[in-house]
Amino acid sequence: EAGVAQSPRYKIIEKRQSVAFWCNPISGHATLYWYQQILGQGPKLLIQFQNNGVVDDSQLPKDRFSAERLKGVDSTLKIQPAKLEDSAVYLCASSLPSGRAGEQFFGPGTRLTVL
């Protein structure tokens, strides 16, 4: 079974530039998550999709971050414009819905450095 795929693995940009990350979940996983993990901290949920609908985006900085999941499969997360404090690893995860939603499978992550 293929795991969660993410790209790119690394990205270096300057502040005020834009960046986009892509995620393809495990086949059949209806729930998809984007997390931000700053060094030394646990993953912080940015947005959670159930199929192509948003379940939770309460911690997504909507003035600069956006995410979409067209057709209920892969997803993109965009930052525009980036700030220095956005430097982090962006993790995508997927899971089966409802009762098993906490059993999440993570992709390798994208390490973003904002200069």
Partner 1 sequence: QKEVEQNSGPLSVPEGAIASLNCTYSDRGSQSFFWYRQYSGKSPELIMFIYSNGDKEDGRFTAQLNKASQYVSLLIRDSQPSDSATYLCAVMGAGGFKTIFGAGTRLFVKA
Asked if residue 7 lies in contact with residue 92, where contact means CB atoms within 8 angstroms, the answer is no
Of 13 and 45, nearer to partner 1 (C-beta) is 45
Least CB distance to partner 1 at residue 81 (A): 27
Burial of 88 (C-beta count, 10 Å sphere; 0-12/13-18/19+): buried
55 makes contact with partner 1 (CB under 8 A): yes
By CB under 8 A, residue 42 contacts partner 1: yes
25 near partner 1 (CB under 8 A):
no
Ramachandran sector of residue 49 (left: φ over 0; alpha: ψ -120 to 50; beta: rest): beta
Residue from 9, 16, 44, 62 in contact with partner 1 (CB under 8 A): 44
Q: Respond yes or no on whether the N-terminal peptide bond of residue 61 is cis (omega within 30° of 0).
A: no
The smaller minimum CB distance to partner 1, of residues 17 and 96, is found at: 96
Residue 50 has which token pair?
């159930």
Three-point CA angle 11, 115, 62, nearest 5°: 75
Q: Does residue 27 bind partner 1 (CB under 8 A)?
A: no
Smallest distance from partner 1 to CB 109, Å: 5
Q: Which residues bind partner 1 (CB under 8 A)?
A: 35, 40-45, 48, 55-56, 91, 98-99, 101-109
